[in-house]
Amino acid sequence: MLPLSIEKRISQPGLLERQFLNYLREANAPIDQSKSIAYEVLFDVKKSTAQNNVELFTGQLDQAYTNIRGTYVRPQSEHFLIYGIRGYKEDDTIEQPFVPLANIPMQKGFSSNDGFVDKPVAPYSLATLSISVNSVRMSKKIPLTEFDNFMVNKERGTVYLDQPILWEGQTELKLRVETNDSNNVFPGIAGENESYLRFDLLGIGLI
């Protein structure tokens, strides 16, 4: 039996792609007809050791920790419409050290994977996520507890947005995770037992 999303694509081929282009036109985003429409997952990983706020998809780009090429500012006309966000914390049952990125053990969502604590714990239970594009707040303070939906493994750790976020070409996106409390910092010891956060942006874009 085919998934419902695939059945819809077969019954109405090209519908979502046309809707995407219409969305771009209504947003007055320039469209380069030579570009192709594709589903993408853009990810970024940042060290969170002993910090009470972490910013992703901005700052110094390290190619080992992201699949975005060259710079966080997308090329002109390469617009990306975000419809979902997937969050990961470091797997706290696996000992470090680990380098490079391929060896960082990550788990979807922010619940502890301690068998006796099957729920988010501080600071994750106190943290929120916000997204801004060109300094305009597009999504404000989503609790990280929203990412612990305990759905099937493929969807676990995922929040689907009620209103998609358009990341236009030549603009800067910033995803910020924060506790706003100096007493509630993300775990880890600098230089010894580092801690990381990863976020995926799920969307459809022009490439």
Nearest to 79 by CA among 135, 130, 140, 27: 27
Q: What confidence score (pLDDT) does residue 175 get?
A: 98
Q: What confidence score (pLDDT) does residue 140 get?
A: 86
| Six token digits for residue 132 | 């801004």
Q: What is the mean pLDDT of each run of 10 residues along the chain (207 residues)?
A: 54 74 90 88 94 95 91 91 92 56 76 57 89 91 85 78 92 94 86 87 92
| Strands, sheet with 136-143, edge to edge from the N-terminal-most edge strand | 53-56, 173-178, 128-133, 136-143
Q: What confidence score (pLDDT) does residue 116 get?
A: 47
| Six token digits for residue 119 | 């729920």
Q: What is the DSSP letter of 11?
A: H
| Residue 79: Cβ-neighbour burial (10 angstroms; 0-12, 13-18, 19+) | buried
Contact 11, 182 (CB under 8 A): no
- Give the separation between CA 167 and CA 75, rounded to whole angstroms: 11
DSSP helix/strand/coil, 118: coil
Label the pairing between strands 196-206 and 53-56. Answer: unpaired
Element of type H or E holding 5: helix 4-11
End-to-end CA distance of the chain: 31
CA angle in degrees (0–180, nearest 5) for 190-191-195:
55
**Which amino acid is it at 3?**
P
Q: Which domains does the chain have, with CATH numbers?
A: 34-206 (2.60.120)
| Six token digits for residue 124 | 């994750």
| Six token digits for residue 123 | 């600071």
Q: What confidence score (pLDDT) does residue 11 get?
A: 62
